[in-house]
Amino acid sequence: MPPSEVSSAEDVEKRVPEQKVASGDTAEGFVSASHNPEYDRYLELHREFEGAGRKRLLKKLDWRLLPTLSFLYLMCSLDKSNAGNAKLFGFLEDVGMTPTQFNLALMYLFFTYGLCEPVSNVMLRRLGPKIWFPCIVVAWGLVTTLTCLVQNYGSYVVIRLVLGMTEAGLYPGSYFILSMWYTPKEIATRMAIFYGANTAAGAFGGVIAYGVGNLDGAHGWKAWKWLFLIEGVITIVAGLMTYMFLPHFPHQYDHKTKSKWLSASELEYAQLRVKYASGPDAPTYVFRWSDVLAAAKDRKTYLMMMLFWWGGSVPTYSLSYTLPTMVKNLGYTAVKAQALTTPPYIFATCVCVFVGWMSDRYQRRFFSIMSCYCLGLIGVIILWVTVHYKNLYGVSYFAIFLAAAGYSAQAPIVGAWTSVNVPNPSKRAAAIGLLMLFGSFGGGSIGSNIYLASEAPTYPLGFGFSIGATVLGAMIPATIHWFLMRRENKRRDAMNIDEIQARHTPAELSEMGENSPLFRFTL
């Protein structure tokens, strides 16, 4: 175990009496001698909440945050990808769009979606989730509802552009919210549970589309109109309920804003345990534009962006938009194909949560991500080969399970890996938003256009591009990122702690964030 990895605050005090380090809630962090009264209070609370108390607090956090954020992401994913289901119900023919126009409209969403992600995360950092999230959820629910009134290609393009603007904040914002409540050793599991809502959306999308298919012709409306209307209304209601269920950021609670769901001591511990997760030199919680700029200049932001872009967004979006048609090409009817898209997504959700839990348990983010990429690659390669043989439709269907699971499970680990290595909240919010900018903009726009209808059912461009993007665009950058951080950790391990503390004040070390020589990156 590296010097920075400790089991508990008490163990550290026994081994190094003159030093205090981060609690057992984190795997990597600072080592610093600091006489900070607030940090001493954190250590006191850490001992007080040891065992059952901490489990009780985590249970409260889980039941308050995860169901709310997961359901919102479920609706976000449904409202973004339901176009693939609507296509099977005659949407293109009724609106008068060609398959090429349909693919372009899907792509346009990601222009505004990607561009608005970092902006939305900055707004979330400044306004807080209790104000910002209800606004954006109600807005995109209204846009989804209005999609049932689309009559031509132009109006659908406008709808997709506005939908991208309103939905942009949910995904990166939820990752940031979770990082404000959970410590590094807890966050990947929670991000995986949250992201599981995305894979579950594929399952629910197929079930809802299957049910809505039976409404075709009811009150003179086609099934695709009912699909947009029903999902949009549910989202609007969910947005209104968000104000009641979603809490503020921990640091926003004070004598004026009090918590009704946490006791005073629980709230204080929840605030301090994340603030001091990396040791006594806590980052500032004051919003500064300089921290946003620092995220834009950081090499880590762009390496993680590559992972999210090429190893996540491109294969995931291409799969979600094409899966119903791909299953139909195996020989099933349109309605049955909708139902058969459900099992792969259920399997992917289970794998996603399991990988997140394993990543937290062993604190091996790089290994977890690479395992997911390998699983996704195996699925795509098998699928690419077997779609050429109609008698192997069972094997092709099995390969869809592997591809969906592998490419879905990597996403929360990418988010967790970014979060734990950027302790400053403002910089972390900006970094998450920026890495998702090109990930969504580039990945979504590319992913929605590589599986061409003219190449069905073998899709040589789609399969080939997915494999190349995963290996060249994600696996290689991930390896470089891991190598550079590992080398930096070794360099810092060789430094003399006493000399560092003599040269820098605690305030200076805190200001450095992950650039401090006392910080250790999570690998």
How much is the average pLDDT of 220-227? 86
Report yes or no on 135 lying in a domain: yes
d(CA 104, CA 164): 14
Report yes or no on 118 lying in a domain: yes
C-alpha angle with apex 496: 494 to 502, nearest 5 degrees? 150
Report yes or no on 13 lying in a domain: no
Per-residue pLDDT tens over the stretch 429-439: 899 988 888 77
Mean pLDDT of the chain: 84
d(CA 249, CA 425): 11
pLDDT at 22: 38
pLDDT at 24: 37
Report yes or no on 511 lying in a domain: no
Burial class (CB in 10 A: 0-12, 13-18, 19+), 51: exposed
* DSSP per residue, 206-222: HHHHHHHGGGTTGGG--
pLDDT at 333: 62
pLDDT at 177: 95
Burial class (CB in 10 A: 0-12, 13-18, 19+), 153: middle
Encode 439-493 in three state secondary structure: HHHHHHHHHCCCCCHHHCCCCHHHHHHHHHHHHHHHHHHHHHHHHHHHHHHHHHH
Considering only residues 91 and 486, tell me which one the structure prediction assigns the higher pLDDT: 486
Per-residue pLDDT tens over the stretch 274-326: 988 877 777 877 888 899 899 999 999 999 999 988 988 888 878 766 776 77
Report yes or no on 100 lying in a domain: yes
Res 30 pLDDT > 50: no
Q: Which of 228, 198, 214 is nearest to 85 (CA)?
A: 228
| Distance in angstroms between the alpha carbons of the first and the last residue of the chain | 13
How much is the average pLDDT of 372-376? 95
pLDDT at 339: 67
CATH number at residue 471: 1.20.1250.20
What total number of domains does the chain contain? Answer: 1
Least confident of 27-31, 250-254, 297-301, 376-380: 27-31
Asked if 356 and 193 count as a contact pair (C-beta separation under 8 A), the reply is: yes
Per-residue pLDDT tens over the stretch 490-517: 999 999 988 888 888 888 888 888 998 9
Report yes or no on 406 lying in a domain: yes
What's the pTM?
Answer: 0.81
pLDDT at 452: 79
Report yes or no on 3 lying in a domain: no
Considering only residues 252 and 322, tell me which one the structure prediction assigns the higher pLDDT: 252
How much is the average pLDDT of 347-351? 90
Percent of the chain with pLDDT over 70: 88
Percent of the chain with pLDDT over 90: 44
Asked if 416 and 372 count as a contact pair (C-beta separation under 8 A), the reply is: no
Contacts of 301 by beta carbon, 8 Å cutoff, 6+ apart: 295, 418, 431, 434, 435
Q: Which of 16-30, 39-53, 476-490 has the highest mean pLDDT?
A: 476-490
How much is the average pLDDT of 138-153? 93
Which domain range does residue 363 map to? 52-284+294-490
| 31 SS3 class | strand
pLDDT at 203: 65
Report yes or no on 25 lying in a domain: no
How much is the average pLDDT of 105-131? 89
pLDDT at 446: 81
Res 130 pLDDT > 70: yes
Per-residue pLDDT tens over the stretch 15-27: 333 333 333 343 3
How much is the average pLDDT of 119-123? 92
Res 33 pLDDT > 50: no
d(CA 353, CA 372): 12
pLDDT at 13: 39
Res 114 pLDDT > 90: no
